[in-house]
Amino acid sequence: MTDLQHYGSSLRGEWPLAPGITYLNHGGFGLTPRTVLAAQNRWRDKIEADPTHFLTFEVEDYLRAATVPVATTIGASANDVVFVDNATTALNAVLRSLDFELGDEILITSLTYPAIRKAAQYTALRSGARLIEVEIPLPLTDEAAVLKAVAQGLTHRTKLAIFDHIASHSALVLPVVALTAIAHEAGAMVLIDGAHAPGMVPLDVTRIGADWYVGNLHKWYFAPRACGFLWAAPAAQSLIHPLAISHGYGEGFRTEFEWTGTRDVTPALAAPDALAFHAQLGGAALMTRNIALARDAGTMLTARWKTEMTGPLDSYAAMAAVRLPLTGEITAARASALMRDLSQTHKIEAAVVLLAGALWIRVAAQAYNEMSDYERLCSIFMPT
Ligand SMILES: Cc1ncc(COP(=O)(O)O)c(C=O)c1O
């Protein structure tokens, strides 16, 4: 039997990853372990044995039961958590539910995930609200620089502030507790985009104190793809509705979000198995190990390439972003060409991004990774 806490390449067999691939992009779309896929298939079989009975009489109870371990894991009451397909859906649900008036402000930062920047732009455009994008200086010196930039962007008109818990491209962990506090002090409601955080860092959503917290379980908690959650503080629940209004409309937060039309509920129902697998891999110990590996990888790449990281080492969790040792054209097109070449020619999956006028590579660290994975990447860009 595999020792699930003997991290590194010996664990690769737990995932259906093709041989020969160096996978440094766990944060991108997650990677579902075989055991979780098997659990999902068992739910599929159960549903298909009698879809009418399951979806008419049973699905609600099963979804509620699956919510319980999720809520416990993220430090929430099960009454305040619902499953959603993904972070994008839940963030849009909040943005599109709130009534913004002409002159209201929605605050985001330069590190906001690009898809969510677009959702905020769309919301602002339709309502007459102003979108305020606060510039976070990169490379980041310390958390105080984030707080200072955000404090300068908050006004008495800020109705909603959106903060990433772990910013996607830069991989930086942001001080969400302090950011929430200063935004609340300014009178704004707070929506945290925690797409990457659950399973990467210990999470206590209640303690963060935001109005809404959105997370994915299909990234770092190993759930099947299309498994996210939306947590809402009790006072903020009646303010929001799912993007698709359906049978549950008017019957309260959980009922409204539980049925948004016929959809695949198997990722949510398999979520408890995913959490259990994460715990078998060590739970908190796995997170600690992955964080240490990502920081070591970032340190090694920076030293060998003689470049820099997007921020101080202690601002990373299980991902680090390092500037590539390149000269010449700095464009988004080059970033995607480099990422494609890494994938197609070298069988290395890692995110290459354009950020703050430079090209960076974001490397992730998961249980199946080990230092030799980053050394392979390092050699490809080694300056001659
Ligand atoms: C910060 C952040 N927000 C939102 C998302 C969107 O996640 P999803 O595609 O699962 O909705 C991502 C995806 O990586 C992300 O990094």
Residue 85 CB less than 6 A away from ligand 1: no
Residue 163 CB less than 6 A away from ligand 1: no
Q: Are 238 and 339 members of one domain?
A: no
Residue 195 CB less than 6 A away from ligand 1: yes
Q: Are 208 and 334 members of one domain?
A: no
Q: How far apart are CA 249 and CA 260, in angstroms?
A: 9
Boundary (domain end) residue, out of 277, 297, 329:
277
CB of 315 closer than 8 Å to CB of 173: yes
* Per-residue pLDDT, 1: 59
Q: Which atom of ligand 1 is nearest to the CA of 91?
A: 4
* Per-residue pLDDT, 147: 98
Asked if residue 2 is part of any domain, the answer here is no
Residue 191 CB less than 6 A away from ligand 1: no
Helix axes 271-280, 59-74, angle to 10 degrees: 30
CB of 364 closer than 8 Å to CB of 25: yes
Per DSSP bridges, beta strands 189-194 and 212-216 are: parallel
Ligand 1 centroid to residue 111 C-alpha, Å: 12
Which residue shows structure tokens 């849009």? 92
Residue 116 CB less than 6 A away from ligand 1: yes
Boundary (domain end) residue, out of 277, 302, 320:
277
Boundary (domain end) residue, out of 244, 277, 310:
277
Q: Are 365 and 335 members of one domain?
A: yes
Q: Which atom of ligand 1 is nearest to the CA of 226?
A: 10
CB of 276 closer than 8 Å to CB of 353: no
Q: Are 44 and 170 members of one domain?
A: yes
Residue type, 184: H
CATH number, residue 376 = 3.90.1150.10
* Per-residue pLDDT, 107: 98
Q: What values do phi and psi take at 247, rounded to 5?
A: -55, -35
Helix axes 371-381, 284-305, angle to 10 degrees: 20
Residue 40 CB less than 6 A away from ligand 1: no
Q: Residue 98: how many CB atoms within 10 A of its CB?
A: 19
* Per-residue pLDDT, 261: 96
* Per-residue pLDDT, 4: 87
Q: What is the pLDDT along the chain (384 residues), one digit of tens a residue?
A: 578 889 999 999 999 999 999 999 999 999 999 999 999 999 999 999 999 999 999 999 999 999 999 999 999 999 999 999 999 999 999 999 999 999 999 999 999 999 999 999 999 999 999 999 999 999 999 999 999 999 999 999 999 999 999 999 999 999 999 999 999 999 999 999 999 999 999 999 999 999 999 999 999 999 999 999 999 999 999 999 999 999 999 999 999 999 999 999 999 999 999 999 999 999 999 999 999 999 999 999 999 999 999 999 999 999 999 999 999 999 999 999 999 999 999 999 999 999 999 999 999 999 999 999 999 999 999 987
Q: Are 64 and 200 members of one domain?
A: yes
Which residue shows structure tokens 């240490």? 292
Asked if residue 1 is part of any domain, the answer here is no
CB of 257 closer than 8 Å to CB of 246: no
Helices (H), strands (E): how many in the chain? 15, 12
CB of 281 closer than 8 Å to CB of 306: no
Q: Dihedral sign for Cα 193, 149, 292, 285, please.
A: negative
Structurally, the chain folds into a number of domains equal to 2
Q: Are 218 and 354 members of one domain?
A: no
CATH number, residue 174 = 3.40.640.10
pLDDT tens-digit profile of 186-223?
999 999 999 999 999 999 999 999 999 999 999 999 99
Q: Are 238 and 302 members of one domain?
A: no
Q: Are 294 and 376 members of one domain?
A: yes
Q: Are 23 and 123 members of one domain?
A: no
pLDDT tens-digit profile of 228-280?
999 999 999 999 999 999 999 999 999 999 999 999 999 999 999 999 999 99
Asked if residue 232 is part of any domain, the answer here is yes
Ligand 1 centroid to residue 89 C-alpha, Å: 10
Residue 218, burial from CB neighbour count under 10 angstroms (0-12, 13-18, 19+): buried
Q: Which domain holds residue 56?
A: 40-277
Strand partners, 359: 354
